Chain A
Amino acid sequence: MKEYDIVIVGGGPAGLAAATTAAKCNTSILLIDDGLQLGGQLIKQTHKFFGSSEQFAGIRGIDIAHNFIDELSHLSNVEVLIQSTATGYYEDGILTILEGYNGNKLIKVRPKRLIIATGASENMLAFINNDLPGVYGAGAVQTLMNVYGVIPGKSVLMIGAGNIGLIVSYQLMQAGIEVKAIVEALPCIGGYWVHASKVRRLGIPIYTRCTLKEVRGKDEVQGVTICDIDNKFNFIPGSERELSVDTVCLAVGLSPLSELLWQAGCEMTYIPELCGYVASRDENLKTSRDDIYIAGDVSGIEEASSAMLEGQIAGLNAAASLGLYHENYQKLNHTFHKQLAELRNNTMSENIIRGIKKATLVEGGSHVCSS
């Protein structure tokens, strides 16, 4: 059975950043992902990132992914397994992986450290006929149109005016697909104004305090009824409007994909600010188990820039915990933490910071000197 210093589960922004960082610490690494290609959500993100140049500002997500993948292909100490699902981490220290076409090949490996960067899954919303074909998660719509150039539908109702709802609406219009409206149950737009302004300039209405009541159709979406809601989220009778769309796109939040952490016995806490159950962790992202680290959306729903920084922190510190220190360990760790703090230094991140405080393990601290 093959042994690795570090096995990273998930090849999205967090996992890729963890792999490239840990690779510089003279570690042997296995990076696994269940998708057809590495990159996670980055490969469908056509918009340019914000932040500072260290956080890839001005670069499109899809190009960030390609840069990482290119870097990895030149690293001889990183092995990559795609179309492979990690199914369990057991008491004898073995991680089981199902590889390939419908998972018909079982692989067992023994990692000294595990970095879980499995990301998130999209939330569902309760409405009549929410299971009909033509109702998509926003991530799926992005995959179809931005990765494979396939049109998911002709005319779309977007549910949710957070950043994902706004960005995907804009991307739909770029792909030549009509967005009839964006509805948002909250009294105000949740995403950045720069994204909201872009869709408003294209003439897409954003209805706040409004939600989807019903989808009509037999074998597929043929129309929808939207309805205003009051302060208690109850429908306001008489405010129903019908829209003719063949596609409903759900952008109503994400939940951490934490099954492996539960299965491995990490201490898990429900933290609303982080959008679900997350593993308790120290400041260097080590969980309640000394051999398991977390990074990215699985540690709390945020965004790709912070996921990459968390990946760098987890990669650097997982290596350090094996005595494999990066030659600039102290400086780098300090820099990554500083950049992450700067990224979260805005009013929209206040909730996240509060959530992370609740999830942080106080006792014991880090196993390496914290600078």
Chain B
Amino acid sequence: MRIKEHPILNFQPGKKVAFTFEGKKLEGYDNEPIAAALVAAGIKVLSYSLKLKRPRGFFCAIGNCSSCLMRVNGLPNVRTCIVRLEEGMVIERQD
């Protein structure tokens, strides 16, 4: 979900881009990080913890906490909160 009206800020969305998450087609903007586009699309679980497989969500937004590490175009451990979304990206939860 996205903010529609704001008393101070005027959001300027970038170019609309299509990407896939776990095989599902989604849309976001090319001026936002991958993880923000996922949250906007209502996806809260970005990864699972290694040992206990507990769900992990968006947490720090500065590339520090490892909660949002995902596989992007086949490359694992991408810090999706600080990598910009691009057209055609293939995003997956990593094992």
Residues of B within 8 A of A137 (CB): 59-61, 65
A34, A101, A151, A219: the one within 8 Å of B3 (CB): A151
Interchain CB contact under 8 A, B3 and A145: yes
User: Which of A102, A132, A133, A220 has the most CB atoms of chain B within a 10 A radius of its CB?
Assistant: A133
Shortest CB-to-CB span from B81 to chain A, Å, is: 8
Q: Does A77 contact B (CB under 8 A)?
A: no
With A and B bound together, what is the CA distance between A131 and B4 in angstroms?
Answer: 29
Please tell me if the beta carbons of A148 and B45 are within 8 angstroms of each other in the complex: no
Q: Is A208 an interface residue (CB 8 A)?
A: no
> Does the CB pair B2–A140 fall under 8 Å?
no
Question: Roughly how many angstroms separate A110 CA and B95 CA in the complex, as a whole number?
Answer: 39
Interface string of A220-233 (1 = CB under 8 A from B): 10000000000000
Cβ–Cβ contact B6 & A149, under 8 A: yes
Q: Looking across the interface, which residue of chain B has its beta carbon closest to that of A152?
A: B39
- The answer to the question of B26 belonging to the interface, with a C-beta cut-off of 8 Å to chain A, is no
Alpha-carbon separation in the docked complex, A141 to B1 (Å) = 14
A35 close to B (CB within 8 Å)? yes
Q: In whole angstroms, what is the CA distance A323 to B55 when docked? A: 54
**A46: chain B residues within 8 A (beta carbon):** 8-9
Question: Residues of A contacting B84 with CB < 8 Å?
Answer: 36
A143 to B3, CA, bound (A): 13
- B5 within 8 Å of A (CB atoms): yes
Number of interface residues of A (CB under 8 A): 36
Q: How many A-B residue pairs have CB under 8 A?
A: 114
A131 vs B58: C-alpha distance when bound (angstroms) = 10
A147-168, CB < 8 A from B: 148-152
Chain B residue numbers with a CB within 8 Å of A150 are 1-3, 32, 36, 39-40
B28 CB, nearest partner CB in chain A, Å: 10
- The yes or no answer to B91 lying at the interface (CB within 8 A) is no
Our pick among B3, B56, B59, B65 for the contact of A149 (Cβ within 8 Å) is B3
B61 interface neighbour in A132, A139, A175, Cβ under 8 Å: A139
Interface presence of A236 (CB below 8 A): no
A176 CA / B59 CA spacing, docked (Å): 21
* A322 CB, min distance to chain B CBs, angstroms: 31
Q: How far is the CA of A151 from the CA of B60 in the complex (A)?
A: 15
Q: Which residues of B contact A85 (CB under 8 A)?
A: 63
The answer, among A134, A151, A219, for a CB contact under 8 Å with B1, is: A151
A83 CB contact (under 8 Å) in B3, B44, B75, B82:
B82
A133 pairs with B2, CB closer than 8 A: no
Q: Mark A23-51, 1 if CB is under 8 A from B, else 0.
A: 00000000000111000000000100000
Over the window 68-85 of chain A, the binary record of Cβ atoms lying under 8 Å from chain B Cβ atoms (1 yes, 0 no) is 000000000000000101
A347 CB to nearest chain B CB (Å): 30
Interface string of A178-217 (1 = CB under 8 A from B): 0000000000000000000000000000000000000000
A-B contact list, 21 entries, CB within 8 Å: A46-B8, A102-B75, A131-B54, A132-B54, A133-B44, A133-B46, A133-B56, A133-B58, A135-B57, A135-B59, A139-B62, A140-B62, A143-B62, A144-B39, A144-B61, A148-B32, A148-B40, A150-B2, A150-B3, A150-B36, A174-B8
Chain A residues at the B interface, C-beta cutoff of 8 Å: 34-36, 46, 60, 62, 83, 85, 101-102, 121-122, 131-137, 139-140, 143-146, 148-152, 174-176, 219-220, 257
Q: Given A102-B72, A133-B57, A140-B59, list of 14 further CB < 8 A pairs?
A: A36-B33, A46-B8, A62-B9, A102-B75, A121-B64, A132-B54, A134-B57, A143-B61, A144-B36, A144-B39, A148-B33, A174-B8, A175-B6, A220-B45
* In the A-B complex, the 3 residue pairs with the closest CB atoms: A133-B57, A140-B61, A149-B11
Q: Which B positions have Cβ atoms within 8 angstroms of A?
A: 1-9, 11, 13, 32-33, 36, 39-40, 44-46, 49, 54-65, 72, 75, 77-79, 81-84
